[in-house]
Amino acid sequence: MRPDRSNGTSGGELAVPMAWMYAEYIADELLRTGDLMPPTTFEFRAGRDALALTIFLSDTEGELGGIRVISQLEHWRSLTAHDQPWEEWVRERLERLEEEDRGSGGSAGPGSSDGAGGSGGTGGRSPDLALAKAAWQWLDETELLAADLDAPGPWSDAGLDEAEEDAPKVWTPAWQLGLPLGHLAIHLF
């Protein structure tokens, strides 16, 4: 009899999305350590979700854990750098994982010893992949009001706080705010 390796399930029970939860935990710790903003803000959530997606999707061998976190920081920093096509990379990785998931009957997904995420009653989709897709959907469809970095700055002798309040604002997809925040948190770690 083959042991059940469905990422925390046994005998038809719901699968636990351990790979996603671990990626989200690492992202949360990186952002909290950087102390860039309060964890109750939408910007923090955008940073956490962008980092968690980066961590989850870059774990192609299911080896995320323990000491490997430190060895992966440089890789995550390069993926989140300003000049990288992060959005396209996320879309391509999610698409590829979904295809693998469909082809294997719901057992695809990084984070388990055999690449299995378990179907867990999600219609053939691993629970890790389902949470990653939900995070991406929120990051892509949610817009946050942010300073327009392309507009000329209203810098004055009044100080940075007042200048920030007077700065022109634009609605920006959450991932465009979260990605640089996550990148900076990795630098500060």
Is 143 in contact with 170 (CB distance < 8 Å)? no
pLDDT of the residue at 126 = 86
Q: What are phi and psi of 169, to 5 degrees?
A: -120, 150
DSSP assignment string, 56-99: HHH-TTS--STTHHHHHHHHHHHHTSTTS-HHHHHHHHHHHHHH
Note the pTM of the prediction, 2 decimals. 0.74
pLDDT in tens, 11-46: 566 678 888 999 999 999 999 998 888 999 999 999
* Share above pLDDT 90 across residues of the chain, in percent, rounded to a whole number: 47
pLDDT of the residue at 149 = 64
